[in-house]
C-alpha cells in the first residue's frame, strides 16, 4: 500500500471566522476548540479530516500567493461523502437555510447522488452519496 497521511487538514481563507463558524455549526458540525480562536476555527469533518477556517490575514502568513475571491473564481471543491441520499438533501438544505447559496442542481447518476452549495465566502462544497454495491466498489 502506498503512502497515507494520518490526518488531512484543509486550509480555507474566510472573511469572518465567527460568522463562518456559526454557519457550519448550523449544519451540525463541531469545532476543535483548542485550535479555534479569533484568527482560526478548526472545523471537524471526520475523525481524520478537518478544515481550518482562517482569516485572510492569517491565511496570508501561510501562503504568500494572492488570495482568490471564491465568489469570482474556483480554487477548490470540498467533497464530502455521506451515508444516504436523505443526508445529502438535509445537509444542503441546512446550508441554504444558514445563508449559503446554491452551486449546482442535484445530480442523480443512479449509484451516485449529489448536490452542492457555496458557503458564506463562496467556497464550493459538494455532498454526495455513493451506493458502493451498485457502483462496483464493494
What average pLDDT does this structure show over 50-72?
Answer: 91
DSSP single-letter state for residue 136: T
Q: State whether 41 and 9 are in the same domain.
A: yes
How does residue 34 score in pLDDT terms, banded at 50, 70 and 90? very high
Domain count, the chain: 2
Q: The domain containing residue 8 runs over which residues?
A: 1-63
What whole-number distance in Å separates Cα of residue 120 and Cα of residue 31?
17
Q: Based on the number of CB atoms within 10 Å of its own CB, is 57 exposed (0-12), middle (13-18) or buried (19 or more)?
A: exposed
> What is the sign, positive or negative, of the torsion defined by CA atoms of 136, 125, 13, 50?
negative
* Chain position carrying cell 451506493: 131
What average pLDDT does this structure show over 96-104?
Answer: 95
DSSP single-letter state for residue 98: T
Q: What is the mean pLDDT of the chain?
A: 93
Q: State whether 55 and 79 are in the same domain.
A: no
Q: Note whether residue 29 is domain-resident.
A: yes
Three-state DSSP state, 50: strand
Q: What is the pLDDT of residue 134?
A: 80
End residue of a domain, out of 10, 28, 63: 63
CATH no. for residue 122? 3.10.180.10
Q: Note whether residue 27 is domain-resident.
A: yes
Three-state DSSP state, 89: helix
Q: What is the pLDDT of residue 138?
A: 64
Q: State whether 91 and 121 are in the same domain.
A: yes
Q: State whether 80 and 101 are in the same domain.
A: yes
pLDDT at 30 over 80: yes
Amino acid at each position: 500500500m502506498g503512502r497515507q497521511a494520518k490526518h488531512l487538514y484543509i486550509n480555507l481563507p474566510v472573511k469572518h471566522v465567527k460568522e463562518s463558524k456559526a454557519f457550519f455549526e448550523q449544519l451540525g458540525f463541531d469545532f476543535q476548540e483548542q485550535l479555534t480562536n479569533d484568527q482560526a476555527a478548526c472545523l471537524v469533518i471526520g475523525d481524520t479530516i478537518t478544515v481550518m477556517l482562517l482569516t485572510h490575514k492569517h491565511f496570508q502568513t501561510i501562503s504568500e500567493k494572492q488570495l482568490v475571491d471564491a465568489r469570482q473564481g474556483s480554487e477548490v471543491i470540498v467533497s464530502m461523502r455521506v451515508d444516504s441520499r436523505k443526508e445529502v438533501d438535509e445537509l444542503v438544505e441546512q446550508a441554504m437555510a444558514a445563508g449559503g447559496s446554491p452551486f449546482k442542481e442535484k445530480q442523480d447518476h443512479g449509484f451516485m447522488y449529489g448536490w452542492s452549495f457555496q458557503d458564506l465566502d463562496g467556497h464550493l462544497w459538494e455532498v454526495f452519496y455513493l451506493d458502493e454495491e451498485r457502483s462496483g466498489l464493494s
